[in-house]
Chains A and B, each alone.
Chain A
């Protein structure tokens, strides 16, 4: 069972979709900010993840992921964790920024 995918779907994709709806206009206004966040995640973040995996800090159970691997890292990591996880952080920060400014 792809536990990792389910986890990402429930805890990252669902709140991410809600945040995307709340931030329809902001996402267009801050597209460069979003772009740079993804650039950092897919460069420095990937290096960090790869290093942690290579040194054996964390491991993935092949029975709990889809089964497509990229140098020891499951594809969920690239598609789900980096993409949705980063969006969650961006979304929450932008929502809070919007609310705090309106107070």
Chain B
């Protein structure tokens, strides 16, 4: 796929995204930075060990690389730089995860399950947003137009790429409509909270009747 950079390319494809997931989150970063000495030392030890033993396996033919799919550059005339990068990134990724997970496990939590649960909650909340569609006049118009456009796309035999562009644009319009609903709803709630009529109780506040987005349309 990447010709000479296939080996390094695959290594980066499988290691960089999870490393970003681990290191970019502020909550995780604080723990990882606190344990940076352990991570650095483990990565160094493992990379040196791996770089020393890998050429032995290749020398005795445990496995072989295909010419033209790796750089073939040797470090100290001994180990391929591709192998060193593999060990460096794999050890760094695993050391980071092990340290993070160990800290969470000591607290009695499971970092992976914690993340999965949070992710599922986010999806659940995102799906709840669709409930606003039938309550809004503009959203129902958008859905009707979207169906019309999709039917037209089928009749006009649009290509796959064109169809994807149409779907992305429909998604964007609905998402922005939901965002607009959210902003109006938040604004009306704040207005109702600050209303002088609140002494009558929330049910009798005139703003809630006038500004409430669901009743407005």
Contacts and interface: CB of A to CB of B under 8 A. Distances in A.
Contacts of A64: 60-62
Given A4-B57, A64-B62, A93-B42, A55 B101 contact: no
Contacts of B49: 92
B99 A93 contact: yes
A96 interface: yes
Contacts, number: 111
B42 A92 contact: yes
Contact of B69 (A57, A60, A94): A57
Contacts of B106: 29
Interface residues of B, number: 40
B38 A97 contact: yes
Contacts of A55: 1, 6, 69
Given A64-B61, A89-B98, A90-B98, 14 more contacts: A11-B56, A30-B101, A30-B105, A32-B112, A36-B97, A37-B94, A44-B14, A58-B63, A59-B65, A64-B60, A94-B102, A96-B38, A97-B102, A100-B37
28 contacts: A3-B61, A7-B53, A7-B60, A7-B62, A11-B56, A11-B57, A29-B105, A30-B98, A32-B110, A32-B112, A37-B94, A37-B97, A44-B14, A44-B18, A52-B10, A56-B66, A57-B6, A57-B66, A58-B64, A59-B63, A59-B64, A89-B42, A89-B46, A89-B90, A90-B94, A92-B45, A93-B99, A97-B98
Interface of B: 1, 6-7, 10, 14, 18, 35, 37-38, 41-42, 45-46, 49, 53, 56-57, 60-66, 69-70, 90-91, 94-95, 97-99, 101-102, 105-106, 110-112
